[in-house]
Amino acid sequence: MGTFDVVSEVDEQEVKNAVDQAQREIANRYDFKNTNSSIELNDLTITMHTASNDRLDALRTVMEEKLVKRGVSLRGVEYGDVQEATQNTVRQVLTITVGISSEKAKLINRTIKEKGPKGVTSQLQGDSIRVNGKKRDALQEVIAMLKAEDIGIPLQFQNFRD
């Protein structure tokens, strides 16, 4: 009986590296001079602070480019509302989600039951979903199906065993 785990994880060091690279870029770019733009990381929460909405859009673009370049999926990024801050500035909070929530786990389990091959079962185990199947081809088919399906979170597949 073969198994594998479906998880949703983010490498926190890569997020930190992406924020550091974005901070360096905005410090050197001409269009960010005298805008008091900043990017701060606290756990997996990124706070962007700048002078105007158009600068915030540019700041968000720089941050997204750096995250993608470091291999962090944008599917796991939740954007907060743009807030007015002190001295006519704006800020926005980005939260990077980790783990599979209960409603996403139900969606994944339902998708595997409805669209998956026969003989494949899945069950929730903490922050991961264990998928069991008799044939290796059926398990690989489930992986391909979940990659094609838009679940809304980044998925990784670990512990593949025959």
Domains, in order of start, for the chain: 2-8+100-161 (3.30.70.860), 12-96 (3.30.70.990)
Q: How far apart are CA 99 and CA 124, in angstroms?
A: 12
Residue 32 pLDDT: 85
Q: What is the pLDDT of residues 114-143, one digit of tens each?
A: 888 888 999 888 888 999 998 889 999 999
Q: What is the pLDDT of residues 23-78, one digit of tens each?
A: 999 999 898 888 888 899 998 899 999 988 888 999 999 999 999 999 988 888 99
Q: Residue 67: CB partners within 8 Å, gap ≥ 6?
A: 15, 18, 74, 77
